[in-house]
């Protein structure tokens, strides 16, 4: 049996027939009501309570990602809106370029920063009137994104890549290096 489909704790705790009986009746979503565009529709309710940003997985699946240089290189990439204590407000698994294009109305204007605005939309609808402080890395950050978040009444902090500063009057990277 493949190691990615076997849980030793379960295998040593119950017989296979008992496990099969439980799995036969365990469903996370109603099969007749699945979103055909969502490749994770059958487990979407469970995903909404997860709290990892890269879920390790080595088996075959069309949405499995490889991210070089990361501690977990193979698995499912998850966008997560989390509290400062690490509790997830919600999670959205990356489903590939096709789904990402149809998913975000912000993609053309903000690139990957559209993921941040999509999550901010959800936060604003679930917690109306609350102001949020958002933190994200250079994968998402752009000046345009920071301005939009500020215009919406929230604050944001993010590292920015030198090619995403647009027309901000910042010193170039070499000048910053000389200062330190």
Query: Is the Cα dihedral 135, 140, 143, 148 positive or negative?
Result: negative
In the predicted structure, residue 64 carries a pLDDT above the cut 70: yes
pLDDT tens-digit readout, 105-120: 777 777 778 888 988 9
**Whole-number mean pLDDT of the chain?**
79
In the predicted structure, residue 126 carries a pLDDT above the cut 80: yes
């Amino acid at each position: 049996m493949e190691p990615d489909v076997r849980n030793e704790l379960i295998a040593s705790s119950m017989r296979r027939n008992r496990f099969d009986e439980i799995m036969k009746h365990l469903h996370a979503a109603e099969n007749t009501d699945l979103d055909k565009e969502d490749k994770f529709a059958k487990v979407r309710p469970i995903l909404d309570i997860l709290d990892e940003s890269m879920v390790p997985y080595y088996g075959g699946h069309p949405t499995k990602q490889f991210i070089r240089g990361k501690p977990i290189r193979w698995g499912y990439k998850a966008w997560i809106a989390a509290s400062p204590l690490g509790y997830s407000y919600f999670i959205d698994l990356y489903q590939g370029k096709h789904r990402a294009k149809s998913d975000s109305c912000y993609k053309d204007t903000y690139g990957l920063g559209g993921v941040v605005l999509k999550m901010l939309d959800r936060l604003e609808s679930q917690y109306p009137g609350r102001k949020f402080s958002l933190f994200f890395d250079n994968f998402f950050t752009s000046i345009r994104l920071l301005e939009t978040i500020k215009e919406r009444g929230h604050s944001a902090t993010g590292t920015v890549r030198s090619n995403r500063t647009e027309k901000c009057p910042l010193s170039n990277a070499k000048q910053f290096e000389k200062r330190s």
